[in-house]
Amino acid sequence: MVVCLCKGVSDKKIKSLLENGATCLRDVMTSSQAGSDCGSCICQLKEMVRKSQQRNGAATSGNAASDTNCG
Ligand code: FES
């Protein structure tokens, strides 16, 4: 399924990025260009990042679980 129509980025691509080192919305956007045009896919990207953080335990510190931003 295509998540970002503007840039033609699929959910598989996003999942692959999240499984291979992307840890936040900015990582995903930088690597894939998803969300860099009209922005209507941002909410879906955030949700995918949030789920990935939950799967990974978001065990670092502080607000990681509630925030999809880097750092
Ligand atoms: S649908 Fe992703 S930037 Fe437009």
CATH assignment of the domain containing 10: 1.10.10.1100
Question: What is the reported pLDDT for 44?
Answer: 96
Mean pLDDT computed over 42-59 = 89
In a domain, 23, yes or no: yes
Provide the residue range defining the domain that includes 22: 2-57
Whole-number Å distance, alpha carbon 12 to ligand 1 midpoint, is 16
Pocket of ligand 1 (CB under 6 A): 4-7, 34-41
Pocket test residue of 40, 43, 45 for ligand 1, highest count of atoms within 8 A of CB:
40
Mean pLDDT computed over 24-35 = 97
CA neighbor of 16 nearest in space, from 48, 41, 46: 48
Number of structural domains, the chain? 1
In a domain, 48, yes or no: yes
pTM value is 0.81
Question: What is the reported pLDDT for 64?
Answer: 46
Mean pLDDT computed over 19-41 = 96
Mean pLDDT computed over 21-46 = 96
